[in-house]
Amino acid sequence: MFTIEHQFDATVITLVDEGSASLQEDVVIEAFEDCVVVQQTDPRTDRALRITLSLAQVADLAAALNLPEGSYRIERGT
């Protein structure tokens, strides 16, 4: 399950792990104009762990999900 919310400066997507085996904490993805922040709470420390990706990194990740093993470079226009 997931939710999508449009806020003033970001789109927030929350991924909820459903099922019976080894449930993980929710993942919150905040998409801003210039970056994407992925956040998940560590249940052992109750602290939020955050990773910030540039838009180029997000594009690379999206492409990587559909490619076989290997090393790639996406050519981007200037």
Domain ranges of the chain: 2-64
Count other Cβ atoms within 10 Å, centred on residue 29: 20
Please state, in angstroms and rounded to a whole number, the distance separating the CA atoms of residues 30 and 44: 23
**What pTM was computed for the model?**
0.82
| The pair of three-digit structure tokens given for residue 49, joined into one six-digit string | 């762990």
DSSP characters for 44-61? Answer: TTTEEEEEEEEHHHHHHH
Query: For residue range 20-71, what is the model confidence (pLDDT) as tens digits?
Result: 777 899 999 999 999 999 999 999 999 999 999 999 999 999 988 888 888 9
